[in-house]
Amino acid sequence: MPSSAPPAGRDARGGAVRVGLVIPVRGGDRGKTRLDVEQARRSALAAAFALDTVAAARAASLVGEVVVVGALAEPVDGVRVIADPGGGLLAAVLAGLGALRMSTAQAGAGADAGAGAGPAPTAVLLGDLPALRPVELDDALAAAALHERAFVPDAEGSGTSLIVARVGVPHAPRFGPDSAARHRAAGYVELALPAGSGLRHDVDTLDQLRAVASLALGPRTRALLDD
The domain limits of the chain are 19-108+115-221
Percent of the chain with pLDDT strictly greater than 90? 71
For residue 14, the model assigns a pLDDT of 47
Please tell me what DSSP assigns to residue 39: H
Indicate whether this model's pTM tops 0.95: no
Backbone dihedral region for residue 85 (phi beyond 0: left; psi -120 to 50: alpha; all else: beta): alpha
Single-letter amino acid, residue 162? L
Q: Which stretches of the chain are assigned E, i.e. beta strand? A: 19-24, 63-69, 79-82, 122-125, 149-153, 160-165, 189-190
Asked if 199 and 132 touch (Cβ cutoff 8 Å), the reply is: yes
For residue 12, the model assigns a pLDDT of 44
Q: Which residues pair with 208 in a beta bridge?
A: none
Tell me which residues of the chain have a pLDDT lower than 70: 1-16, 27-31, 107-118
Does domain 19-108+115-221 fall under CATH 3.10.400.10? My reply is: no
How many angstroms separate the most distant Cα atoms in the chain?
A: 65
Please tell me what DSSP assigns to residue 10: B
For residue 6, the model assigns a pLDDT of 44
Single-letter amino acid, residue 125? L
For residue 202, the model assigns a pLDDT of 95
For residue 117, the model assigns a pLDDT of 46
For residue 39, the model assigns a pLDDT of 86
- Return the ∠ at Cα 190 (arms to 68 and 53), rounded to 5°: 25
For residue 162, the model assigns a pLDDT of 99
C-alpha 107/C-alpha 11 separation (Å) is 16
3-state DSSP assignment of residue 48? helix
> Which residue in 130, 142, 103 sits closest to 119, CA to CA?
103
Q: Which strand ranges, in their side-by-side order, compose the sheet holding 160-165?
A: 79-82, 63-69, 19-24, 122-125, 160-165, 149-153, 189-190
C-alpha 18/C-alpha 22 separation (Å) is 13
